[in-house]
Structure formats: structure tokens, C-alpha cells
């Protein structure tokens, strides 16, 4: 049982027939009851990954399995039960709710057809209460609520079909600090109490560190490192992880300060040859002209821990360098 992405690629056709490879072969798994954090700089492909994982767009290559069953956008309509098992929460709750309809009636849309009419309202009220709102919210319209309340309404709406997995793409980025805390607590509560599996996307590393069991660090369409969150922070195996985590204020004494990240993220339509991080990497060397694949690390600091990194410094080199 899991939400599983296998070597997924996402490509957009830009202007003048130029293609942008936003996701360049990502494999990732989210298990029930698990929070997997996905971090990385703006434009690295996080939202594209979220869209393909939730079936909103089709992968150019690779596939997405929901509890072993492949999902594809074309099959959504024919497989409504599959769709209900996976729900999304977006950054902007205003855009995911219709301003002209009462909250209760919008949420009732998500109640599965086999639920008897007399229980449909109960199902909606139950989810509103779960996210800390009162039942009378159902009779009101979106404009009557603050951003934080609306995001909790959006979460309640995602929960109405009783999904096994949630994909939350920057769910608190647009909210004020106190609403952020409430929404994060709501989401982590669902994982704990309902055993929902959650892919939590954020550029806020400190937040992801706080809530994710495992963290995937994405760079220019690929996963640079994937590790249990604690270990990723205590001993990053990829120089990009070191640089990102170094930019977050630390409380530990003597943590050592890796070199800060300089330069711009390259255009995904024009990714560097070899390791994508090479032009910005303070530790690049000859090997990096060959692309390192994401593999279990065999060298310190993560050797023997089962952690994965796409960096030659984390691997004993194989003669041809390119097998996984």
C-alpha cells in the first residue's frame, strides 16, 4: 500500500516549440501514516510533481501507482473510486472554492455516491469538525472566512471522500503565522489519527524539518537526496542539501557552516551536462561531468544508512559510472 511514483517525467511545451523538462525522472513513495516532505528552490519542479502524482497531468514517461493501481488522467472519469483515494490541498484556498456556493453544498459534492442521502450532511459536518470548525460553517459562503479558515475548509473538503493520501502543495505559504500553525497542526493530526499518507511540498525547510518523516530534496527536476528527515539534517550527503540546510538558522552549537549557495537555478530547458548542480557546487570535481544517479550512498557521512543521494561524493565510483 502506497502512493508510488516510478521514474516520472513531466515536460511542458513552451513558446516556439521549446520544451521544458520540469520533472526529469523522479521515483518516490509515500506510505500510509507517513509525511514525505518535498523541498527545493522555486522552479525545481515541485508543483509539477504534485500535479502528475495526483493525476492532474500525464507523465511523459514513468507512471504513478496508487496502492498498486496505475493512475492516468484519462482513466479518472472511469475510475472515480481511485480518484477519491487521493486528494490535493493547494496553496491558495480561494481558488479551490467556488465563491457563489455555500460551503456545505460544495463539500457535499465529494461525498461518494453510495453514501445514503440522510448521511451526506453528517459526512460534511464531521469533516468540518475534524479541522476545528463548527457545523454552521456549512451554511456560509467563502468570502465570510479568513485565509486560514478557508484553508481548513479546503482540507475538510479534501477529507470528505475519506482519502488515503493527501498531496499538499505549499498549503500554508499564503497564510499568516498563526494560521500556519493551525493548518500544520490540522494536517499532521490527520496523518496521526487517520493514517493518511501525505506528500508535503514547501520551500520552508524549517517547517518540513518539523513535520516530515522523510525528506526529498529536489534540484532542477530531479531528486538530489532522499533521507529520513533527522539524518538529512544531521549529516547531509549531497552538497546541495548542505547548502540549503545551511541557509536555515540553526540552534545546534558547533554544527559547522557549509558554504552558502550562490548563483541562480539554471533554466530547466537548458540543464547542465553531467551533474545538474555542478555549476553551483563548491565541491565539484572531474567525475561530476558524468551524471550521478540517485542511489544508496556508500560513502560517509551516510554510508550504511540506506540513504539515497545523487552525488559522486556519496558513491564509490563504478567503472562506467552510469548504472543504478
Ligand X SMILES: Nc1ncnc2c1ncn2[C@@H]1O[C@H](COP(=O)(O)OP(=O)(O)OP(=O)(O)O)[C@@H](O)[C@H]1O
- Which residues make up the interface to ligand X (CB under 6 A)? 12, 14, 20, 22, 40, 42-48, 203, 268
- State the residue number with the nearest CB to Mg ion: 47
14 binds, among ligand X, Mg ion, none (CB under 5 to 8 A by kind): ligand X
The three-state secondary structure class of 215 is strand
Please tell me whether residue 202 binds Mg ion under the rule CB under 5 A. Answer: no
Residue 170 Ramachandran class (φ > 0 left, ψ -120 to 50 alpha, else beta) = left
E strand spans, the chain: 3-13, 19-30, 35-39, 61-66, 69-71, 86-89, 165-169, 197-201, 214-219, 222-228, 295-296, 308-309
54 binds, among Mg ion, ligand X, none (CB under 5 to 8 A by kind): none
By CB under 5 A, the count of residues binding Mg ion is 2
Write down the least CB distance from residue 37 to ligand X, Å.
13
Q: Which is nearer to Mg ion, 21 or 127 (CB)?
A: 21
Write down the least CB distance from residue 47 to Mg ion, Å.
3
Could you tell me whether strands 86-89 and 165-169 are parallel, antiparallel, or unpaired per DSSP bridges?
A: parallel
Segment 44-103, which members bind Mg ion (CB under 5 A)? 46-47
Which residue in 158, 196, 163, 213 sits closest to 37, CA to CA? 213
93 binds, among ligand X, Mg ion, none (CB under 5 to 8 A by kind): none
- Assigned C-alpha cell, 149: 479558515
Are the C-beta atoms of 194 and 31 separated by less than 8 Å?
no
Distance of alpha carbon 2 from alpha carbon 260, whole angstroms: 36
Write down the least CB distance from residue 46 to Mg ion, Å.
5
213 binds, among Mg ion, ligand X, none (CB under 5 to 8 A by kind): none
Residue 227: CA count within 13 A, CB half-sphere: 28
Q: Which is nearer to ligand X, 18 or 101 (CB)?
A: 18
112 binds, among Mg ion, ligand X, none (CB under 5 to 8 A by kind): none
Q: Which is nearer to ligand X, 130 or 203 (CB)?
A: 203
DSSP state for residue 312 in the 8-state scheme: G
Give the residues lining the site for Mg ion (CB under 5 A).
46-47
Amino acid at each position: 500500500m502506497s502512493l508510488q511514483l516510478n521514474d516520472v517525467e513531466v515536460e511542458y511545451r513552451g513558446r516556439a516549440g521549446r520544451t521544458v523538462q520540469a520533472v526529469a525522472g523522479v521515483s518516490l513513495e509515500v506510505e500510509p501514516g507517513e509525511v514525505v516532505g518535498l523541498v527545493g528552490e522555486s522552479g525545481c519542479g515541485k508543483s509539477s510533481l504534485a500535479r502528475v502524482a495526483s493525476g492532474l497531468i500525464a507523465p511523459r514517461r514513468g507512471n504513478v501507482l496508487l496502492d498498486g493501481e496505475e493512475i492516468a488522467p484519462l482513466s479518472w472519469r472511469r475510475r472515480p473510486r481511485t480518484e477519491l483515494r487521493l486528494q490535493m490541498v493547494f496553496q491558495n484556498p480561494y481558488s479551490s472554492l467556488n465563491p457563489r456556493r455555500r460551503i456545505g453544498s460544495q463539500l457535499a459534492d465529494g461525498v461518494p455516491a453510495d453514501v445514503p442521502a440522510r448521511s451526506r450532511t453528517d459526512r460534511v459536518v464531521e469533516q468540518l469538525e475534524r479541522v476545528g470548525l463548527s457545523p454552521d460553517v456549512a451554511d456560509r459562503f467563502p468570502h465570510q472566512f479568513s485565509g486560514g479558515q478557508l484553508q481548513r475548509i479546503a482540507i475538510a473538503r479534501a477529507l470528505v471522500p475519506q482519502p488515503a493520501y493527501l498531496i499538499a502543495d505549499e498549503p500554508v505559504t499564503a497564510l499568516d503565522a498563526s494560521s500556519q500553525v493551525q493548518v500544520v497542526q490540522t494536517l499532521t493530526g490527520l496523518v496521526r489519527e487517520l493514517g493518511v499518507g501525505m506528500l508535503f511540498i514547501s520551500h520552508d525547510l524549517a517547517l518540513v524539518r518539523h513535520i516530515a518523516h522523510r525528506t526529498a530534496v529536489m534540484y532542477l527536476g530531479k531528486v538530489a537526496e532522499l533521507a529520513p528527515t533527522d539524518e538529512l539534517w544531521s549529516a547531509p550527503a549531497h552538497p546541495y542539501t548542505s547548502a540549503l540546510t545551511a541557509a536555515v538558522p540553526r540552534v545546534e552549537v558547533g554544527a559547522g557552516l557549509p558554504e552558502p549557495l550562490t548563483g541562480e537555478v539554471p533554466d530547466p530547458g537548458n540543464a547542465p551536462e553531467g551533474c545538474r548542480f555542478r555549476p553551483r557546487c563548491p565541491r565539484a570535481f572531474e567525475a561530476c561531468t558524468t551524471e550521478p544517479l540517485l542511489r544508496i550512498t556508500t560513502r560517509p557521512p551516510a554510508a550504511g544508512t540506506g540513504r539515497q543521494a545523487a552525488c559522486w561524493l556519496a558513491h564509490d565510483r563504478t567503472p562506467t559510472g552510469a548504472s543504478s
